[in-house]
């Protein structure tokens, strides 16, 4: 650090280390392991749940080649379901696929209402214990306005 006194420049040494505190080894012994700091609880991603979402396909497909629109829409729905439900295994309903392709490869619906259910995998040798099943949900006559994400209560 430099300071000026009456036109003369002096060099002043500044020591930033604080030697009065405990040594680094003492501080390391005070640290708790991560498992002790965070309580292990049941993750929200492990629950079986069904939710309804409205997804805007138009913004996800903007700039996409016309002849790749419907396949890209299917991929974007898969990607959305993976992020929303936290499962890599996503299965699409046949009727949802038909709805996406109903107007051809180019003219994909602008918005779509999805019902995504996170379910337990019955297969014992499956990679994941949960999978997501995506179906098309009904849109009210008023349209998509003021439709938020809804949690659907299932009767078993």
Residue 47 pLDDT: 85
Give the helix/strand (H/E) hosting 144: none
Residue 29 has pLDDT above 70, yes or no: no
Buried b vs exposed e over 68-91: b needs ≥16 C-beta within 10 Å?
Answer: ebbebbbebbbebbeebbebebbe
pLDDT tens-digit series, residues 59-117: 999 999 999 999 999 999 999 999 999 999 999 999 999 999 999 999 999 999 999 99
What is the band of 46 on the pLDDT scale with cuts at 50, 70, 90? confident
pTM of the entire predicted model: 0.70
The two three-digit tokens of residue 3, written as one number: 């300071």
- The percentage of residues in the chain with a pLDDT greater than 70, rounded to a whole number, is 71
- The whole-angstrom separation of Cα 57 and Cα 47 is 27
Kindly state the average pLDDT of the residues 132-154. Answer: 90
105 touches 67 (CB < 8 A): yes
Residue 85 pLDDT: 94
Q: Three-state SS for 87?
A: coil
What is the band of 123 on the pLDDT scale with cuts at 50, 70, 90? confident
Nearest to 50 by CA among 76, 78, 85: 85
Between 16 and 79, the more confident residue is 79
Between 30 and 109, the more confident residue is 109
Kindly state the average pLDDT of the residues 29-58. Answer: 77
Between 111 and 43, the more confident residue is 111
Residue 135 has pLDDT above 90, yes or no: yes
């Amino acid at each position: 650090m430099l300071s000026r006194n009456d036109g003369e420049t002096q060099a002043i040494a500044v020591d930033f280390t604080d030697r009065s505190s405990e040594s680094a080894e003492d501080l390391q012994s005070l640290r708790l392991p991560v498992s002790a700091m965070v309580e292990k609880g049941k993750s929200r991603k492990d629950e079986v749940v069904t939710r309804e979402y409205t997804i805007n396909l138009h913004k996800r497909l903007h700039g996409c080649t016309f002849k790749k629109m419907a396949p890209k829409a299917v991929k974007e729905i898969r990607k959305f379901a993976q992020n929303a439900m936290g499962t890599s295994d996503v299965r699409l309903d046949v009727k949802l696929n038909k709805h996406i392709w109903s107007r051809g490869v180019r003219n994909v619906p602008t918005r779509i209402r999805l019902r995504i259910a996170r379910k337990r995998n019955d297969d014992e040798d499956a990679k994941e214990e949960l999978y997501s099943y995506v179906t098309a949900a009904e849109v009210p006559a008023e349209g998509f306005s003021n439709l938020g994400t809804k949690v659907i209560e299932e009767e078993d």
